[in-house]
Amino acid sequence: MDGDTKKALGKVLGELYRLEKKLGLSYPSDETIYGLTRGFEEVLDSELTGHEGVTADEVSRVIEVLNPIWKDKAKLDAFKGYYDIEHDLEQRGITRSKAIKILTMLQARGQFHSVITKMDTSNSPGECRTFKLEV
């Protein structure tokens, strides 16, 4: 992304944060808002690059892990939570934060519901128990 585009996006994001603040909603620090609206490169980089996308290949790699569990009743019955698949996901290059995004989207689509709902146990870290869509 070129510098002008980054500054423009930062300005827009900063103004959105400013509106959130006025409405009493959650928002980042005043420092972040100021940095975005004034084009501070370190703030722009921090805010704009922190929102990594998800590729179709990454979704496929998560599906490769979930599919055998979903298709096999014995595997589904034995499945206790996220920790059961974490190593397989990591081997495929899927970080926990990326997995959360993908699992949330799959849950929203109604895919692998029987597997994803079984993650709401003590055999999953707190952030990997429910995957509610926040828009």
Across 15-36, average pLDDT: 86
Please write down the HEC assignment for all residues of 113-125. Answer: HHHHHHHCCCCCC
For the chain, how many residues are written? 135
Q: Is the pLDDT of residue 6 over 90?
A: no
pTM: 0.67
pLDDT in tens, 26-83: 778 888 889 889 988 888 888 887 666 788 999 999 999 999 999 999 999 999 999 9
Percentage, residues of the chain above pLDDT 70:
96
Please, where are the H alpha helices in 1-135? 3-22, 30-37, 41-49, 56-71, 73-78, 83-91, 96-109, 113-116
Phi, psi of 10 (to 5 degrees): -60, -40
Poorest-pLDDT segment among 24-33, 58-67, 84-93, 109-118: 24-33
